[in-house]
A and B are shown apart, each in its own frame.
Chain A
Amino acid sequence: QQQVKQSPQSLIVQKGGISIINCAYENTAFDYFPWYQQFPGKGPALLIAIRPDVSEKKEGRFTISFNKSAKQFSLHIMDSQPGDSATYFCAATAGAGSYQLTFGKGTKLSVIP
């Protein structure tokens, strides 16, 4: 019940295309859903996050879509660029009282020119 399932494992997108990464969860106590971006040899960086009281959050070219009833959320990268090539992790936490972020296994995104 603590798992966050992330797909696909890897993704190749052409420059200018839309990258979509999906995550699903079971624990209905989760109330905060961040996405992290990690470049090789670097620590993950917080990219964007959403709480379940909204269905969508947009920051620049990055959008999180959230479907509470389906217990799914996804990251959309619009106009994907080669510089977006990285590994993306979704995560979830039950918030107050919980110190643990549960991470998906990651998606390696490659944006080709």
Chain B
Amino acid sequence: SQTIHQWPATLVQPVGSPLSLECTVEGTSNPNLYWYRQAAGRGLQLLFYSVGIGQISSEVPQNLSASRPQDRQFILSSKKLLLSDSGFYLCAWNEGFYEQYFGPGTRLTVT
């Protein structure tokens, strides 16, 4: 069966510091991978998606970037965090275009 992991689970970072969040999926090959952000009490905003190694599509222009160095690994990065980057970051995967399965999330607090 497929499993999705995210780490770290929680992170507190000062403004201006770099960021690296990691997501890995087990039990599948060539999945589509997604990064979402969920602000407190709000819906899910799609940030990036990837349909293959090195292929990244950005949905929202901002100071975040994503990379997919391996088939089942998706990384969310920032060179300099802003206060507005605080939120709950979720990675998701699917095969094809329908059901998406979410990871446990990373709670990021920028201070």
**Which residues on A are within 8 Å of B, measured CB to CB?**
32, 34, 36, 41-46, 49, 89, 93, 95-101, 103-106
Assign chain B's interface to a size class.
20 to 34
Task: Please tell me if B87 contacts chain A, counting CB pairs below 8 Å.
Answer: no
- Chain B contacts with A in 20-42, Cβ cutoff 8 A: 32, 34, 42
Inter-subunit contact B99/A98 (CB<8 Å): no
Choose among B34, B59, B100 the residue that contacts A46 (Cβ–Cβ < 8 A).
B100
Cβ A46 vs Cβ B43 within 8 A: no
Q: Is the CB of B97 within 8 A of A99?
A: yes
- Neighbouring B residues of A45 by C-beta, 8 Å: 102
Shortest CB distance B27–A (Å):
16
Main secondary structure of the interface of A (DSSP, over half): loop
Q: Choose the segment among B11-19, B44-52, B65-73 that binds chain A (4+ C-beta atoms closer than 8 Å).
A: B44-52
Docked Cα-Cα span, A106 to B43, in Å, equals 6
Contacts of B61-109 to chain A: CB distance below 8 A: 90, 92, 97-105, 107
Number of A-B contacts (CB under 8 A): 52
Q: Is B111 at the interface (CB under 8 A from chain A)?
A: no
Q: Please report B residues at the A interface, Cβ cutoff 8 Å.
A: 32, 34, 42-44, 46, 49, 51, 57, 59, 90, 92, 97-105, 107
What are the 5 tightest A-B residue pairs by CB atom distance, in nearest-first order? Answer: A43-B102, A105-B43, A103-B44, A43-B105, A95-B97
Instruction: Give min CB distance, B106 to chain A, whole Å.
Output: 10
A111 CB to nearest B CB, Å: 19
| Cβ contact within 8 Å between A100 and B99 | no
Closest chain A CB from B72 CB (angstroms): 17
